[in-house]
């Protein structure tokens, strides 16, 4: 019984391990190794990340320090720029003040220059108006005293050119009046006198060669008179009185035909120079009548001379005398009215020039 109790009191024998628990242990060991490796890798990666973060932090700190230095330098430059701007603003204020002074001086100079220009223009117009007045008066006097139409036309043309240079528009009507008077004078002007004077000079030079009429020529077969007859004829021809009724009839004695014709041509030339148209035409009519009565009408030179005289007589005479002096009177009136206005202007301009 005791043995049975001992057998019952002894522990049971352990069972033999099976094959499956060994595999679990191996798996557990591998998992543990993997866990250790993962922990090691995680630690290494964390350390590396921390190191990179420290390096980045240091770089950021260095960058921040650089930025702070740059900011400080920028602040210094900004302060220096502010000082320079303040200096420039002060200089700009000085320049503005100087510019204002220059503008004031320029305005004063422009005012003085305009006053001087006005005085110069007034003086220039005064000289031109003096010339125009002198030319208009000379034209009127030449026509009224000497009937010199060509000289009066030339003086009017010069006066119109002078009035065109006057800058004051108040004298424009004077120029228009002068142009009207010049047109009227040109319409009344006779033809050119120089051509007629040349023709008269040519006729006077050709006069000795013109043959007389056949009745006035001495006959070739006439007997030579004796001494006493010639003496009586000479004493009888010393004094000879004839009457001229002014009708242009040529003298009866053909011996004086050349002298009378020469005198008529000379009188026509003198009347033409003296602007006496009536005397000029009367002398030409007497010369033509003399040629017709006392000279050979069939001679070519006599025909040409009569044609020249007829051509001069056919030329128109001077037209009706124009009324001159209106432009001169208007010019004198305008200058008289503007004379009181020029004095205050000149006084004002002289005061503006004073410093």
Contact, 309 vs 210, CB < 8 A? no
What parts of the chain have a pLDDT lower than 70? 1-21, 113-122, 188-193, 214-255, 316-321, 339-355
Distance CA(300)–CA(309), nearest Å, equals 14
Residue whose token pair is 């006005």: 118
The confidence score (pLDDT) of residue 16 equals: 55
Tokens of 101: 């002074």
Per-domain residue ranges for the chain?
103-187+324-353, 193-215+247-314
Residue 318: partners with Cβ closer than 8 Å, 6 or more residues away: 147, 149, 188, 189, 190, 277
Rg (CA), the chain: 68
Distance CA(275)–CA(43), nearest Å, equals 143
Residue 140: partners with Cβ closer than 8 Å, 6 or more residues away: 152, 324, 325, 328
Contact, 152 vs 140, CB < 8 A? yes
The confidence score (pLDDT) of residue 232 equals: 55
pLDDT in tens, 104-158: 888 887 777 666 665 556 678 888 889 988 999 998 888 888 777 788 888 999 9
The confidence score (pLDDT) of residue 227 equals: 57
Contact, 179 vs 163, CB < 8 A? no
The confidence score (pLDDT) of residue 85 equals: 92
Distance CA(244)–CA(280), nearest Å, equals 18
The confidence score (pLDDT) of residue 184 equals: 83
Contact, 210 vs 302, CB < 8 A? yes
H or E stretch covering 208: none
pLDDT in tens, 25-41: 888 888 889 988 889 99
Q: How far apart are the first and last CA of the chain?
A: 162
Tokens of 196: 């007629």
The confidence score (pLDDT) of residue 183 equals: 85
């Amino acid at each position: 019984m005791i043995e049975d109790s001992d057998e019952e009191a002894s522990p049971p024998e352990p069972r033999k391990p099976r094959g499956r628990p060994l595999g679990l242990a191996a798996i557990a060991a591998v998992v543990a190794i993997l866990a250790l490796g993962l922990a090691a890798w995680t630690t290494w990666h964390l350390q590396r990340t921390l190191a990179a973060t420290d390096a980045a932090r240091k770089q950021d700190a260095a960058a921040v320090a650089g930025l702070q230095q740059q900011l400080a330098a920028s602040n210094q430059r900004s302060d220096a720029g502010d000082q320079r701007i303040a200096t420039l603003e002060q200089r700009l204020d000085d320049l503005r003040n100087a510019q204002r002074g220059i503008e004031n001086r320029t305005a004063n100079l422009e005012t003085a220059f305009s006053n001087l220009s006005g005085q110069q223009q007034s003086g220039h117009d005064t000289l031109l108006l003096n010339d125009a007045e002198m030319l208009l008066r000379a034209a009127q006097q030449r026509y009224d005293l000497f009937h010199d139409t060509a000289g009066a036309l030339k003086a009017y043309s010069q006066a119109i050119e002078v009035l065109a240079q006057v800058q004051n528009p108040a004298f424009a009507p004077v120029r228009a009046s002068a142009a009207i008077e010049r047109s009227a004078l040109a319409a009344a002007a006779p033809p050119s006198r120089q051509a007629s004077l040349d023709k008269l000079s040519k006729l006077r030079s050709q006069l000795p060669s013109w043959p007389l009429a056949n009745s006035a020529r001495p006959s070739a077969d006439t007997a030579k008179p004796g001494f006493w007859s010639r003496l009586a004829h000479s004493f009888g021809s010393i004094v000879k009185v004839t009457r001229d009724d002014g009708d242009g009839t040529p003298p009866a004695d053909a011996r004086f035909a050349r002298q009378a014709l020469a005198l008529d041509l000379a009188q026509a030339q003198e009347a033409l120079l003296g602007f006496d148209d009536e005397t000029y035409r009367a002398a030409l009519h007497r010369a033509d009548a003399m040629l017709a009565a006392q000279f050979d009408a069939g001679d070519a030179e006599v025909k040409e001379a009569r044609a020249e005289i007829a051509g001069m007589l056919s030329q128109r005479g001077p037209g009706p005398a124009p009324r001159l002096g209106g432009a001169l009177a208007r010019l004198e009136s305008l200058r008289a009215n503007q004379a009181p206005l020029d004095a205050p202007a000149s006084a004002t301009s002289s005061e503006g020039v004073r410093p």
